[in-house]
Structure 1
Amino acid sequence: MTEPWWDATRERRLTVQQCSACGERQHYPRAICTGCGGTDLEFAEASGRGTVDSFTVVHRAAHPGWETPYVVARVRLAEGPILLTDLVGADPDHWSCDMPVRVTWRPLADGRHLPLFTKE
């Protein structure tokens, strides 16, 4: 279900699913449209721009070796869907809700990339 999404990240392309029946866009990839229940879904390019919907600064690492503090956020894409992601490139105290952000990428060992967001 998620393979096409991950494949797009190899090229640093951010995609969301789009329903052919109603046009609803959604993320995370799934088998059924959250708007109409349809099953004819395809992947569409996203602009990579959005706004911070909510965030938290994490001071206690969830995994050994992770540097703290780091910022976990809900980013509402310009296309509508929300991504749970990290905010990078600024001091944790400089983030705020409704701040415009754009996608940036963290490479993974297998060639895929994680979408993170930074200030616009």
Structure 2
Amino acid sequence: MVEPLLPPANEDSKPFWEALKDHRLVLQTCSKCGAVRHYPRPVCPQCHAMEADWVEASGRGKVHSWTVSHYAFHPSFKEQLPLLLGIIDLDEGVRLNCRLRDVAADQIAMGMAVEIGFEDIDDDVTVPVARPAS
């Protein structure tokens, strides 16, 4: 059996991954200037402050771009091909990379409204996924 490829968590991203386990999407926000940032990182790209808070995201957004992958870049994805991968413009103004679910490739469109859901990979890891908004 091939072990699944799991995302790495570090000191900066741990609150993001912990919230996903509770089926919540949180985003890092600069404590000084209020800028929302994703991916999680130690320094605000706007004002260079190192203090951050975490805020719950709306879970809504629009498809910015997408691709259909027919190649398993890791053996654990071979049985899941083809993979629909999207870049989502969240309502909070940042982009999230995730899989697109419950939609056929020929039904995806730029600007399509989506809602962020959650998939439990195992007991310790949950990942965000995007589904067409209802």
Indicate whether the TM-score tops 0.5: yes
User: Which position in structure 2 is the counterpart of 1:12?
Assistant: 23
Give unmatched runs, 5+ long, in structure 1: none
Q: 1:96 is aligned with what amino acid?
A: A
Q: Aligned letter for 2:45?
A: T
**Distance in 1 of aligned mates of 2:124 and 2:72:** 25
More strand per residue: 1 or 2?
A: 1
Q: Would you say 1:41 and 2:57 are equivalent positions?
A: no
Within 5 Å, which residues of 2 pair with 1:19-98?
19-64=30-75, 65-98=78-111
Instruction: Please give the TM-score of this superposition, normalised by the length of structure 2.
Output: 0.84
- C-alpha distance in 2, partners of 1:111/1:26? 24
Query: What CA deviation, in whole Å up to 9, does each residue of 1:51-83 have, x standing for no partner?
Result: 001111112222233422221111011001101
RMSD (Å), alpha carbons: 1.1
User: How much has 1:111 moved relative to structure 2?
Assistant: 3.2
SS of 1:53's partner is strand
Decide which of 109, 116, 127 is 1:103's aligned counterpart. 116
* Cα deviation, residue 112, structure 1: 2.8
- How many residue pairs get aligned? The number is 120
Residue identity in the other structure for 2:19:
A
Identity among equivalent pairs (%):
34
Alpha carbons 1:2, 1:30 under 8 Å: kept: yes
Runs of 4+ in 1 over 6 A off after TM superposition: none
TM superposition score normalised by structure 1: 0.94
* Cα pair 1:69 1:92 within 8 Å, conserved: no
